[in-house]
Structure 1
Amino acid sequence: MPKWTLKDWSSPRQRLTPYLFLLPALIVLGLTVFYPALQAFFLSFTRYEYDLTQPPIWIGFKNFQRLLVDPLFWQTFRNTLLYLVGVVPLLVTLPLGLAILVNQSLRGVRWFRVAYYTPVVISMVVAGIAWKWLYADRGLLNQLLQLLGISEGIPWLTSPSLAVFSVMVVTIWKGLGYYMVIYLAGLQAIPADLYEAAAIDGSDGIQKHWDITVPLMKPYLLLVTVISAISATKVFEEIYIMTKGGPRNSSKTIVYYLYEQAFQDLEISYACTIGLVMFLIILGLSVLRLSVERLTTRRDALSEKLN
């Protein structure tokens, strides 16, 4: 049989081979992701004069000027930031605690893992409808509150001050199991010898997790922070099913506002402008994640050299 050498792989044909295998996937991505993204970028600088059957008219930065003075956009922007602040810290910390609990060698621990992960595999549509029934005026939650004598009923989804927080609970409940599995993979990679050595030094109980678990789980903490932040920025299904952005736009987020502009008001160009702003926000979060990860890696490498 002929033997392959490094010289054979340096030929143009050999260098082209990997790209030929990637070509089908690149074509699909080009048609479904890259081309629509470029088209949306172009449409954000245009306007449809009469209807969508006519070619768009170039108007430059007028859509962006409209965006800057649009009070409803800024309200949805604030709601999205509130969603980030309310959801991300809990989705970073609570799943880590659950992962530590189910990482123990206890009887029935596999059942708890399945129970915590079950909400992840449930469709958001089904989960949203179920939670909407729970939040109803005569739903299970209000009935329990009445039986306990705590309250006659709380307007979970009809109060402007409570609606967005009620939806946040659903997002957190749905994501706990997913991020728990990510943390569980990281916990199982930590050698048990470290905990045994820490116990000898007097670091036991909760203290051992502060001394060992949290420092070694920093890459996973950073990953979950970025993923949950991006997911919270793009939240849509919960809002659409449970509140429709109401009451009085109190739970309307950027993505839901984009949906309204594109598919209800048929303001396609303005919706593309909102989408471009959203893309920049998500891009900023991704760049921040990469920058923090790179700085953390450099700091750890420098600490190892100094030690």
Structure 2
Amino acid sequence: MKMPTSTAAVSGKKRRPMRLQTRQTLLAYLFMAPALILLVVFVFAPILGSLPLMFFDYSVLGTTKFVGLKNFVTAFHDRNFQAAIVNTILFVVVVPVIQILSIMLAVLVNRKLRGITVFRTLYYIPVVTSMVAISIMWGFLFDPSGLINSLLKKWGLISSSLGFLTDSRTAMLCIMFITVWQGLGYYMMMYLAGLQSIPQEIVEAAYVDGATPAKAFWHIKLPMLKPYIWFCSLNSVISAVGVFDAVFVLTQGGPDTATMVIAYYSYYKAFNSFEFGYAATIGFVQALITGVISIVVFLYGRKGEEGGLA
């Protein structure tokens, strides 16, 4: 004969898992605390602190004056700022290029070939290398007396050195190339993970039905990569709008304003001209552009996923 279970015993059993879950949650936050503190101090606090600066003519040494929306009016009448917006949006053109190349590389390294692990590692090395170091290296290569010009002269393709980074027609293309080269390995690994998560039974069934490798990729693998394409494209757009390191190291926005981008122009106004209020306004506009483009990419990605699922 079973004894009736008391209400206190049942409630005690329920409390134990709840207490355990609470302890685990607190322990998780304890482990995250150092990183969260760094984010609050060095990321979120400066962002919140810079928001009021947009409405002031801020001076470190002189008098700070409230100017209302004057900084915004000045920004949209500033030709250098207009050039920075155009160049930044132009940089977003790199996004589809880097995604297509990354998918092609992922397909290439997703094969069981001798030495393929070494090949993957070599392509991933630039990802874990500082962009400053990469920019310096490419600066030497693009130099008028650098390796690229020396080889072109040796092969008889040019008679005099080309100024890759000093010519307004090629400077931006060089910065874009460096950015693509540095980011290929990261997106390649993301797409490689996506390709390896596709069930092989589906692909093999398509081959049995007479599908060629190209058709199997286009109709099976690529649709199943849509979540990865959306995620990588969103990350790439955010990086493209916020490009700074390569411009800072190699061209400082020049020649003229050929490589002037919003992130560098904001830095220049803050730490060269000491116009901190104006720099905060430029940063806010950059955040708006990033948000708008990211929302467009996000909505397009969600629409593509729904279409693929349908």
TM-score, normalised via structure 2 length? 0.87
Describe how 1:199-238 pairs up with structure 2 within 5 A. Answer: 199-238=207-246
Q: Deviations over 1:233-252 (max 9, x none)?
A: 11111011111111111011
Q: 1:77 and 1:65 mapped to 2: Cα distance?
A: 15
Describe how 1:188-199 pairs up with structure 2 within 5 A. Answer: 188-199=196-207
- Tell me the C-alpha RMSD between the 2 structures: 2.5
Question: For residue 39 of structure 1, what is the aligned residue in structure 2?
Answer: 49
Q: 2:45 and 2:27 mapped to 1: Cα distance?
A: 20
What one-letter code is carried by the residue in structure 2 that aligns with 1:33? V
Q: 2:50 and 2:26 mapped to 1: Cα distance?
A: 28
* 8 Å CA contact retained: 2:230, 2:298: no
Q: Deviations over 1:83-131 (max 9, x none)?
A: 111x111111101111111110111111111111111122212211111
Distance 1:8 1:47, change over 3 A: farther
Question: For residue 72 of structure 1, what is the aligned residue in structure 2?
Answer: 80
**TM-fit CA distance, 1:10:** 7.8
1:264 aligned to 249, 272, 278, which one? 272
What one-letter code is carried by the residue in structure 2 that aligns with 1:159? D
Question: For residue 81 of structure 1, what is the aligned residue in structure 2?
Answer: 89
**TM-fit CA distance, 1:144:** 1.3
Q: 1:19 and 1:290 mapped to 2: Cα distance?
A: 33
Q: Deviations over 1:280-299 (max 9, x none)?
A: 12222333344334434444
Describe how 1:143-292 pairs up with structure 2 within 5 A. Answer: 143-152=150-159, 153-292=161-300
* 8 Å CA contact retained: 2:187, 2:232: yes
Q: Which moved more, 1:280-289 or 1:237-246?
A: 280-289
* 8 Å CA contact retained: 1:129, 1:242: yes
Distance 1:166 1:15, change over 3 A: same
**TM-fit CA distance, 1:57:** 1.9
* 8 Å CA contact retained: 2:237, 2:294: no
Q: 1:212 and 1:245 mapped to 2: Cα distance?
A: 44
**TM-fit CA distance, 1:5:** 4.6
Q: 2:81 and 2:47 mapped to 1: Cα distance?
A: 21
Q: 1:83 and 1:243 mapped to 2: Cα distance?
A: 15
Question: For residue 95 of structure 1, what is the aligned residue in structure 2?
Answer: 102
What one-letter code is carried by the residue in structure 1 that aligns with 2:267? Y
Q: 1:280 and 1:203 mapped to 2: Cα distance?
A: 46
What one-letter code is carried by the residue in structure 2 that aligns with 1:138? S
* 8 Å CA contact retained: 1:99, 1:180: yes
* 8 Å CA contact retained: 2:127, 2:182: yes
Residue 258 of structure 2 aligns to a residue in which SS? coil
Distance 1:15 1:293, change over 3 A: farther
Residue 254 of structure 2 aligns to a residue in which SS? coil
**TM-fit CA distance, 1:175:** 0.5
* 8 Å CA contact retained: 1:43, 1:56: no
Give the greater-gyration-radius structure (CA): 2
Residue 153 of structure 2 aligns to a residue in which SS? helix
Distance 1:16 1:31, change over 3 A: farther
What one-letter code is carried by the residue in structure 2 that aligns with 1:31? V
TM-score, normalised via structure 1 length? 0.88
Q: 1:28 and 1:140 mapped to 2: Cα distance?
A: 42
**TM-fit CA distance, 1:165:** 0.3
Q: 2:247 and 2:308 mapped to 1: Cα distance?
A: 41
**TM-fit CA distance, 1:6:** 4.6
Q: 2:170 and 2:293 mapped to 1: Cα distance?
A: 27
Question: For residue 3 of structure 2, what is the aligned residue in structure 1?
Answer: none
What one-letter code is carried by the residue in structure 2 that aligns with 1:75? A
What one-letter code is carried by the residue in structure 1 that aligns with 2:103? L
Gaps of 5+ in 2: 1-8
